Structure 1
Amino acid sequence: MTFPAQVFLLFFAVVNFFIFLKAFYECKTKQNAFGLTPRLTLIGAFVWGDAVIFGLFWTLVSIVVLFLNDWLLFWLIMSLFWVVRSVGETIYWFNQQFSTLDRNPPKHMKGYSIFQNDSIWFVYQIIWQCVTVVSLVFAVYFGWLWLQSL
């Protein structure tokens, strides 16, 4: 693994550990588990409750990958994570479309100015399906590269 990759992973581990600590505080002390975290989308966290788990997850992944000195393994884990996360989000938005609960009122959703009714739900489903496809392609590609490197 190159030195810049090692620096990135160390930085990623430290940042995610601080995300974990902040998220734990938000959930435990402020009881804000459902507070939105738009800046943490890249690690898969949409609310503080997500950030508790994913902050710790990405910290541990980074440490293990650093220990194994395997940059491709990091990208394989990242792509597989996004396969699972995006499938989960697709299911979530599908269920939201038919739910009587109003957790995410359509008028508060990004994109509502273009898709002004319940159609916003299928737009979110399709977006996450696209993320699933891209993540699967990357997972296959990085898996193939990783297996070749063994």
Structure 2
Amino acid sequence: MENWQQLAILVYALVNLVVFAKGYYECKYRKNAYGLTPHLNLLGIIAWGDAVVFGPFWIVASLISYLLNDWYLFLLIISVFWVLRSVGETIYWFNQQFSSKVYPWNKPESLPWHSVFHNDSVWFVHQIIWQCVTVVSIIFTIYFTKLWLASRF
């Protein structure tokens, strides 16, 4: 693994340590587990409660990849994570379409794309966006698996 890759993994772990600490504070002391975190979506963290779980996950994944000196393993972990995360979000938004309970953060008018889809059809749009993320994540998972296996043999 090259130096910049090692540095990237360590920075990723450090960022997630900070995010975990902030998420813990938001959940425990501010009672804000459902507070949205759009600036952390690239880490798979949609709400502060996610940060409390995913922060340690990403720290451990980063450290394992770093200690094994394996950049491709790191990329593979990220892509597999996104397969599972996006499938979960797809199911969530599918269920939201048929649920009678609407959370304040899921009101159609508060969601991105509402300016284009002016009613609860925006839930369908979120579902298919996450389906697209699933497809891209599966493709990356296959590709990174190939690279990872090739680097081992």
TM-score by length of 1: 0.98
Q: Give, as a single letter, the amino acid of the residue that structure 2 aligns with 1:97.
A: Q
Q: Give, as a single letter, the amino acid of the residue that structure 2 aligns with 1:118.
A: D
How many residue pairs end up in the alignment?
150
Gaps of 5+ in 1: none
- 1:1-150 to structure 2, matched below 5 A, reads 1-103=1-103, 104-150=106-152
How far apart are 1:118 and its partner, in Å?
1.6
Counterpart Cα distance in 2 of 1:28 and 1:113: 35
Gaps of 5+ in 2: none
Moved beyond 4 Å, runs of 4+: none
**Root-mean-square deviation (Å):** 0.6
Deviations 1:44-66 (A, max 9, x none): 00000001111111111111100
TM-score by length of 2: 0.96
Q: Give, as a single letter, the amino acid of the residue that structure 2 aligns with 1:137.
A: I
How far apart are 1:142 and its partner, in Å?
0.3
How far apart are 1:148 and its partner, in Å?
1.1
Counterpart Cα distance in 1 of 2:46 and 2:25: 16
Secondary structure of the 1:131 match is helix
Percent identity, please.
57
Deviations 1:87-124 (A, max 9, x none): 00000000001000011110111100100112111111
Q: Give, as a single letter, the amino acid of the residue that structure 2 aligns with 1:121.
A: W
How far apart are 1:4 and its partner, in Å?
0.3
Counterpart Cα distance in 2 of 1:132 and 1:21: 29
